Structure 1
C-alpha cells in the first residue's frame, strides 16, 4: 500500500474520485448511483485502500463498492481488503460481545454501573455487523469507584497493564480470552493538559441509562449526550479528526435516530455544547458528518471564519484531509473555544507529561509555550501543511 500522504503522483481527477468515495462510504446507506459517478472521475486503488485502512472504514468502503458492483476497482488491493472485512465480521460476531461480557459482567454483578463509550454503544447504530472497526473497549466509572473496580477486574481474569496516574486518565487491561481487545477503564476523558472542553467523565457517567448491548446488560449515554461526546472525542487535540471512522459513527448514530423515530433532542445538544464549552468541536464534527449525509441544525454547524482559526477550520471542512496522513498541527488549538484553553493545550503540546510542580514548573513551560504559540499563529495564516502531532 502507498502512504496516503503521497499525493504528488496522483492525477487530480483520480484524487477527487478517491476522496469522494471515502466520504460516500461513510453514509448510512450509500447510493450506488453516486458511487458510480465518483468512480467515473477515476480512482487510485492503492491510495483508496491505504486511506480506508488508516481511517478504519474498510468494511464501509467494501459495502459501498459492493452496492455499485464495483469491487474490481480495488484491483490488486481487493484480496487484502476482503480479508480485513471478514476478520472484522468475525470480531463483531464473536470477539466483541465476549470481551464486553468479560468486562462489564463482573463489574455489574459487583454492583457497579459502567458506562460504555463508543465501541459497542456506537456499533448498535450501524446497519449490519462488521462495518465498524474495534481497537478496544472503553468503560467509564467515577474516580471514587476506580480502585475497587480495578480489583474486581483483576480477580475476574483481566491483567492490569497500566494504572491510572497523574498523566493518565484510565487503567489499561488485557484478558487472555480476548487478547486482541484491550479494556480501558476511564475515570476521566483526557489528561488536564489535553482537555479542549469542559466535558468530564463523572458528568457523563451521571447521565447514563440502562441498555442491552450485544446481549450484555450495560449503560449508555442518552442520544443527545452521545452526539456531543462523539463530536468532542473526534476533535480531541491528539485526534484532530484524523480518522473518518469517527465521522461515520456520527452519521450512523444520527441516521439510526431518524430511521427509528427517536430523533435527537437538538435543544439538549445545544445545552450540552454550551455547558461543555465545545461549540467549535461540535460545529466541525457536524459539518463533516454532513459530508457523510447526516442532517443537523445549521446553527450548530457555524464555524469561526476569521484569522488563523477560520483558515484551519475551513480547510478541515473541505474534506481533503482524508487523503493526508496527519492533520495540520495548529488544528488541535483551533478546535478549542477559548484562548485560555488554547494556551493550556499549548502547554501540554510543548510539555506532554509535566513533571514539575509549583512556580518552578510554570517558569519552565511559559517561555517555550509562548514561542510555540507565535509560531503556530504564523503557520495558521499560511498553507497549513500537514505536520506530525506530538502523540498519536
Structure 2
C-alpha cells in the first residue's frame, strides 16, 4: 500500500483524499505489487473519499514481483466502499496488471462498492504480459456506479468479473467487460444480456464531469423496485442522481425566459422550456430542456428571430411562442422520457441552420 496498509480489520476511512501515491516492487519476491494507495488485508470500509493519480508498479526482474494488482486499492478481505471517486489511477506490471482502480482478491466474497465514479483509470504491461480490468477486478458487487473512459489492453476496460447493478458504462477501451461479469439495469454502449439494460450515450456534462444532462437515458430508468431518488421519482442509473439545477463546467446557469406560457396538456400539467449554459457564444454551451410533458410525447424544437404569441395555433390546444421565420432545430423527432422531459444540446457553430417551416 502506497499510503495505508490494513493488516487487521475492521478499519474505516472517511472523507479522505489519496493523491499520487506509489506502491512499487523492485526486487524479486514471492509477492506482487499491490494497492497504489491502500492494501486491505482486514475488513475495510471506505466512504466519501477520492483516489486520484495513484500508481501500483511492478518492475522487478523475476517472480511475482513482476505483477501489479490494484492501481489505487487492493482488497485481500471484504471491503465496503461508498461515495468514492477513482480517477487517473494506474496498475503497471511486466507480466500481469489487473485493476487500474481496484482489485478484490478472487478468494474474497462480499465486497460491495456503491456510488463510485470510476474515470480514466488504466492498467498496462510490458510486451507479452496480460492487462485486464481498467476499473475494477474481482468478485465485486457494484451498484450505482459510473464508469467512463477506463482502459485495459486485454479487455475489461471497466470490469473484469463481478456484478453491476444500476450502473453507467461509457468509453471503455477496448470494451467494457470481460470474464463472468453480470450486468442489469445499466446503460451500456452495446447490447448486453441482463434485465433492464439500455444502450446509448449517457449524456455527461463533460468527460471529466459525469453529472447527467437533461434528456439522459439514465434518468428514471434504474431498477423500478429500488428506493426512489431524492426528488421522489424512479431511481436514476449511475453514481450521481440527475439534478436539473446542476450547472457544469463553463455553465452560467439558466439563460432563458419564456415569452409565453403553455396550456395544460393531456397530463394535466403546464409544460415549460428552458435554456441552460453560457451567454458567451464562443463557449458553445447551450442546452434546451423541456419538462412536464406527457410521457412518450413526440416533438421538435423550433426557433425564430423574435418571440410571439399565437394562442391555440392552427386550431390546436397549444400556443405558438415564436414569430415568423420559424426553423426546426432537430431533424429527428424527440420523445419525452419517463419523467416527461426532453432535451437537446445545440451546436452554436451550426445554429440557426435547420429546416425552414
Q: Please indicate, yes or no, whether the TM-score normalized by the shorter chain is above 0.5.
A: no
> Could you state the TM-score of these two structures normalised by the residue count of structure 2?
0.27
Q: Larger RCO: Structure 1 or Structure 2 (Cα < 8 Å, ≥ 6 residues apart)?
A: 1
The answer to which structure has the higher helix fraction is 1
> Could you state the TM-score of these two structures normalised by the residue count of structure 1?
0.25
The answer to which structure has the higher strand fraction is 2
Larger radius of gyration: 2
